[in-house]
Structure 1
Amino acid sequence: MKWNNALTDYKHYLKLERGLSENSIINYELDILKLIRFLDDNSINLSPLNIKTETIQEFIYQLAKVVNERSQSRIISGLKSFFSYLIFEDYRDTNPMELIEAPKIGRKLPDTLTVKEIDLLTEAVDLSKAEGHRNKAIIETLYSCGLRVSELTSLKLSDLFFEEGFIKVTGKGDKQRFVPISPYTQKLINLYTNHSRIHVPIQSSHEDILFLNRRGRQLTRAMIFTIVKQLAVKIKLNKTISPHTFRHSFATHLLENGADLRAIQLMLGHESITTTEIYMHVDRTHLANVIEQFHPRK
């Protein structure tokens, strides 16, 4: 089996069996292409079926000279997944990555905003402009529902179940979940749809998209970043923020106020609770308060 054939089969597996997004599949592919390039550059004639641990160790050693530990860890994880797939399909009996450990890296704690800072950002939206009600609804939806920016831009009118108090969110790998939405955020969305969106010349195939640009098309990720950055500059916020910061703030504030970690996981759409557990490290005083309130030996 040649590398290109194995890589093509693997990509089909990631898409059809694991339901990964196009971006995730591209990242997995790039990890394997780095190994293939290393073999070509060093005239090493080994296939995916007979490559040994020693060769991959040399690849990782050379890689460590040019990429940081976080990137090394991601590439090692990608290669482990690739060779696990080959074993799963009975192409190999052993995984050459089995004895290769990723470098130890500390988890980067997410930046968050205070409730006051979020209030200042929403208050800074100029409602006299045509896009004002839209932008205010965008900021509130990011924060009150904890959405990824891609989930926000793809949100549809048909995903809004306001009578039930939920919105339907399509996350990574096209996995869907229902997220509660507050009456206040519902009110802002209704203001936008009833007073601003109706004046936009909506393009064909975008009729159901909730948040539209002035040309009547779905907003891009870059546009959401621009909206957030401009508001941060306007209030002279001394933090580097992005749309994702509102998602981090959503989870952190829920945890600080006593929400269950499992409930936060479900609302964020994390496949593993391990991902959600990073928020346990954000506020140490909250954890101390939990011990004080609930432990019998307080």
Structure 2
Amino acid sequence: MDWQPAIKGFRSYLKLERSLAENSILAYERDIEKLYQFSDIQSPRIKPETVTLTDLRNFMVWLGELGMIPTTQARIVSGVKTFYKYLLMHDVIDINPSELLEAPKTRRKLPAVLTIADIDMLIAAIDLSKPEGPRNKAILEVLFSCGLRVSELTNLKISNLFLNIDFIKVTGKGSKERLIPIGSEAKKALTIWLDEVRVHTHPKKGEDDYVFLNRRGAHLTREMVFIIIRQLVVATGLKKAISPHTFRHSFATYLIEGGADLRAVQEMLGHESITTTEIYTHLDREFLRSTIIEFHPRS
């Protein structure tokens, strides 16, 4: 089998059988494309089914020579292992050459945590006199109050807001849905955006149900959320590496440090358990809501 058909089949497997999001699929594809590039410069040229463990170890050396840091190499190893599990599962190979492939040891660097003063500074930097001001404030409040991934934020639907009972429903990785309590500050900012500003926006066809729209009536992209936050960081002069994920990390940090039940935080983040075989711990809605109210600083 040649590389391009193998990568194409791998993509279909990730989409149809693993139900991964498009961004995750693209990341896996990029990893295998690098292995393809490495195989292309070998003599004789290596095919997917002829790759050996030695080839893969040489591939890792090559990545290091290109200047890739250990964390990037570790991610590529994970992609390669998934690729060869796919080939084994579909009888393209009889032996998985990546089974004994080890990723370089990495030191896990935790993202920055925003203080309450940081949050207040970022929100104070928003010009609420502009139409996008209330929207941007609602974005920051929802990110911090609910710990959403940026893709979950941009895909948030009006039909999935249950503000009368202080919950929102989001669709996370693998199209898994979960209910998340929403704090009072976020609920207030969201209500102002929806009832006083968004109501005057004319959504494009098919965009009616999205919560966050741009001035042209289309739902916001991930890139736009990054830009909004970057501009606010520059305006405040904060010397931290801040992205949408920083709000998610801060959300979890404050809850856990405040004494929140780890299972409740895990449920709200939509994280896969690494200590048990159970994928998600399903908890009572009232328990989740009371956890937010008791431990989140903006509730």
Whether these two folds match at TM > 0.5 is yes
Q: Is 1:37 matched up with 2:37?
A: yes
Q: Deviations over 1:99-148 (max 9, x none)?
A: 22111001111111011221222233222222221111111001000111
* Residue matched to 2:170: 169
Paired-residue identity, %: 53
Query: Given residue 68 of structure 1, which amino acid in structure 2 is its aligned partner?
Result: I
> What CA distance in whole angstroms lies between the structure 1 residues aligned with 2:84 and 2:192?
52
Shift of 1:228: 1.6
Q: Which moved more, 1:259-268 or 1:116-125?
A: 116-125
> What CA distance in whole angstroms lies between the structure 1 residues aligned with 2:87 and 2:160?
39
* Residue matched to 1:238: 239
Q: Which moved more, 1:222-231 or 1:209-218?
A: 222-231
Report how many aligned residue pairs link the two structures.
274
C-alpha contact 1:147 1:268 (8 A) present in aligned 2? yes
Query: Given residue 251 of structure 2, which amino acid in structure 1 is its aligned partner?
Result: F
> What CA distance in whole angstroms lies between the structure 2 residues aligned with 1:167 and 1:220?
20
C-alpha contact 1:265 1:273 (8 A) present in aligned 2? no
C-alpha contact 1:151 1:170 (8 A) present in aligned 2? yes
Query: Given residue 40 of structure 2, which amino acid in structure 1 is its aligned partner?
Result: D
* Residue matched to 1:78: 79
C-alpha contact 2:70 2:106 (8 A) present in aligned 1? yes
* Residue matched to 1:203: 204
* Residue matched to 2:48: 48
Query: Structure 1 residues 170, 57: closer, same or farther in 2, change over 3 A?
Result: same
Q: Is 1:62 matched up with 2:72?
A: no
Q: Is 1:119 matched up with 2:120?
A: yes
* Residue matched to 2:15: 15
> What CA distance in whole angstroms lies between the structure 2 residues aligned with 1:72 and 1:192?
42
Q: Which moved more, 1:49-58 or 1:150-159?
A: 49-58
TM-score, normalised via structure 2 length: 0.86
Shift of 1:271: 2.2
Shift of 1:36: 1.8
Shift of 1:232: 2.3
Query: Given residue 100 of structure 2, which amino acid in structure 1 is its aligned partner?
Result: L
Query: Structure 1 residues 130, 30: closer, same or farther in 2, change over 3 A?
Result: closer
Query: Structure 1 residues 44, 30: closer, same or farther in 2, change over 3 A?
Result: farther
> What CA distance in whole angstroms lies between the structure 2 residues aligned with 1:96 and 1:260?
41
Query: Structure 1 residues 238, 46: closer, same or farther in 2, change over 3 A?
Result: closer
Query: Structure 1 residues 254, 53: closer, same or farther in 2, change over 3 A?
Result: same
Shift of 1:263: 1.6
Q: Is 1:106 matched up with 2:107?
A: yes
> What CA distance in whole angstroms lies between the structure 2 residues aligned with 1:3 and 1:129?
51
Mapping of 1:248-267 within 5 angstroms? 248-267=249-268
Shift of 1:230: 2.5
C-alpha contact 1:156 1:208 (8 A) present in aligned 2? yes
Shift of 1:185: 1.7
Q: Deviations over 1:39-90 (max 9, x none)?
A: 2212324432232212222222222211221121111111111111222223
**Cα RMSD after superposing both structures:** 1.7
Shift of 1:30: 1.7
